[in-house]
């Protein structure tokens, strides 16, 4: 059998563009500063696959995402160890009054990831939001917060002190650099609040640097930015750290790739960030991977021609994405 890291039949540019559909999907609420998520989905030979690096990413960074799309759509995938994945709710940086409506979109989820450190907001906003999540989930619920590298070490230390009483499962990417994470862990070890690394893994030239430096207790990994399921599994194995498999606001197609990764991980201690189809007001399939009883299934996704047509990107945006594929493919 061909190795899952090397497609049995690697598509050329003409095939990629022929199989590509560019979509523009509205979100239920602003997330990462956007209200519309653009993506390319491919009707590939083995299964639908996705290429959706955020628009601000350069071609070199986007190349890993295209490698993942080709691997997933044109290659056999690692064996699954489980048939469904427990997922967390994702709470954007909304006012506390809106939290109840957000959580309602994630039925059965026992864990919530709460966005903090939004540039336009204050620490008091973060505390109020997290407090409301704790109230709604109750004492048995699990809360993790994600700062997306938005704090310096001093800010992170003070923020974690204020948020720690809400019994945090971990704090994700509180600071941007590996060096800052090392220093922060040294300062807060007495609080017993674990640190998780996301951007320090998926955006780094060396994704294992964070593990070697002792900068994190948990790795948050995404299949697309790491070049596909098999490559991500190799990084996890080499790191020796517990893992959370997450998404990058993917369509259900991208989430199916993440679910395959989560299903192949030997030990999956934490709920995964793969329930984010609930943040989309539209999808590319008639059967989206929405959380049910706090889980999503591990399965391929069937593209809906009607949805692809209804949410097709404008001609200008479609041309932009096709040109991006054209530039990125030679970088693989």
Q: Is 224 within 8 Å of 251 (Cβ atoms)? A: no
What ranges in the chain are assigned the alpha helix state H?
13-19, 59-74, 99-103, 123-137, 153-163, 178-188, 199-202, 209-212, 229-239, 252-264, 305-310, 315-328
Based on the residue annotation, tell me whether 115 is a catalytic residue of this protein. Answer: yes
Length of the chain: 332
Based on the residue annotation, tell me whether 222 is a catalytic residue of this protein. Answer: yes
Is 146 assigned to a binding site? yes
Note the Cα 72 to chain centre separation in Å. Answer: 16
Sheet with 111-115, strands from edge to edge, namely 89-91, 111-115, 142-146, 168-172, 195-197, 218-221, 243-245
Is 43 assigned to a binding site? no
Is 295 assigned to a binding site? no
SS3 114: strand
Q: Is 297 within 8 Å of 289 (Cβ atoms)? A: yes
Q: Which of 36, 46, 42 is nearest to 14 (CA)?
A: 42
Q: Which of 10, 113, 203, 222 is catalytic?
A: 222
Q: Is 161 within 8 Å of 191 (Cβ atoms)? A: yes
Annotated binding site: 146, 172, 198
Residues marked active site are found at 115, 222
């Amino acid at each position: 059998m061909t190795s899952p890291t090397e497609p049995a039949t690697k598509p050329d540019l003409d095939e990629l563009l022929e199989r590509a559909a560019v979509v523009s999907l509205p979100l239920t609420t602003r997330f990462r500063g956007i209200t519309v998520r653009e993506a390319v989905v491919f009707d590939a030979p083995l299964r639908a696959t996705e290429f959706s690096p955020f628009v601000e990413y350069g071609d070199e960074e986007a190349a890993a995402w295209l490698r993942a799309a080709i691997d997933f759509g044109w290659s056999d995938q690692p064996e699954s160890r489980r048939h469904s994945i427990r997922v967390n709710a994702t709470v954007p940086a909304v006012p506390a009054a809106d939290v109840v409506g957000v959580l309602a979109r994630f039925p059965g989820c026992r864990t919530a990831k709460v966005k903090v450190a939004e540039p336009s907001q204050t620490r008091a906003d973060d505390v109020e939001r997290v407090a409301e999540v704790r109230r709604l989930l109750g004492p048995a619920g699990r809360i993790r917060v994600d700062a997306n590298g938005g704090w310096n070490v001093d800010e992170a230390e003070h923020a974690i002190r204020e948020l720690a009483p809400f019994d945090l499962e971990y704090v994700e990417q509180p600071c941007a650099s590996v060096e800052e994470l090392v220093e922060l862990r040294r300062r807060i070890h007495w609080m017993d609040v674990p640190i998780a690394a996301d951007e320090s893994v998926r955006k780094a030239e060396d994704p294992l640097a964070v593990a070697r430096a002792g900068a994190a207790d948990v790795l948050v990994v995404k299949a697309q930015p790491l070049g596909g399921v098999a490559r991500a599994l190799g990084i996890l194995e080499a790191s020796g750290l517990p893992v959370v498999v997450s998404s990058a606001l993917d369509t259900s197609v991208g989430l199916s790739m993440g679910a395959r990764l989560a299903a192949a991980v030997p030990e999956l201690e934490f709920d995964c960030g793969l329930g984010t189809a609930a943040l989309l007001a539209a999808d590319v399939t008639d059967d989206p991977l929405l959380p049910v009883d706090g889980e999503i299934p591990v399965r391929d996704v069937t593209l809906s021609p009607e949805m692809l047509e209804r949410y097709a990107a404008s001609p200008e945006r479609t041309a932009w994405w096709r040109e991006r594929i054209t530039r990125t493919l030679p970088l693989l």
